[in-house]
Amino acid sequence: MRDLDYRVLEWINGWPPAMGPFLKFFSVALSQLWVKVALGAFVIWLIWRGGKSRAAAFLALASVCIANTITNVFKEAWPVARPFQDFPYIKVDDIGVAGPLHTLHAKVLDPSIQVLLRVGHSDSMGTASAHSANMAAVAFVMTYQLGWKWGVPWIVVALLTGISRVYTGAHYPGQVLLGWLCGTFGALVVTKTWEAWQRRRFPVQSGGDEVPELA
């Protein structure tokens, strides 16, 4: 299984440099101010719409917090290195120009594998990808609350975010998969807890009544 992780890492991490700007955007988007502003405006708009949209906004925020916490717990309880911490890596800048080969902090598990690092070096463990978890949490909530029309774009974003973390050399494919699972689980817990609270707060009076929307 570990060997499969290495092989998939080599394949995705070695995709053409022309894909770099597109995939790297999804890997580091939240570090850009305009993306934060746009997401903030989107959340405010959802809250302003009310009803299921408002519920989706609050549930998505709560789910991201839970998903991020779960990934941190995994990193503390089961520390697993990132690709560039295991192998020699070549730092690649935004225009695809490779720098010197680095072995700093690398265990060099297999000298035949060299990782192209397209993001900054980090000393934190990579057990579960928080980026992947957060986007998976949002995708789950948007799909569950607002349907496929709203959910599919976020599912695509979650998939591209996870793939980008492998392409940039920040995570193994298995760590991305675990991140997606953490995000989905966290969002499921949040949404089901909210539904249970709604049923307790607004008991069903008859078989045809629906659980009220978040006002």
Query: What is the DSSP secondary structure assignment for residue 125, as one 8-state letter?
Result: -
State the 10-residue block means of pLDDT for the chain, 215 residues long. 91 92 92 94 96 96 97 96 91 77 69 87 93 98 96 98 97 98 98 92 60 53
Please report the pLDDT score of residue 206 as a whole number.
46
Structure tokens at 26: 């999804």
Structure tokens at 194: 């909210």
Q: Which residues contact 116 (CB under 8 A, 6 or more apart)?
A: 13, 14, 89, 90, 92, 98, 169
Please report the pLDDT score of residue 204 as a whole number.
65
Please report the pLDDT score of residue 113 as a whole number.
82
Query: What is the DSSP secondary structure assignment for residue 67, as one 8-state letter?
Result: H
Q: Which of 18, 16, 33, 30 minimizes the C-alpha distance to 132?
A: 30
What is the value of pTM for the model shown? Answer: 0.89
Please report the pLDDT score of residue 108 as a whole number.
65
- Residue 173 near residue 5 (C-beta atoms within 8 A): yes
Single-letter amino acid, residue 174: G
What Rg value do the Cα atoms of the chain yield, rounded?
20
Q: Which residues contact 150 (CB under 8 A, 6 or more apart)?
A: 56, 142, 143
Please report the pLDDT score of residue 122 as a whole number.
87
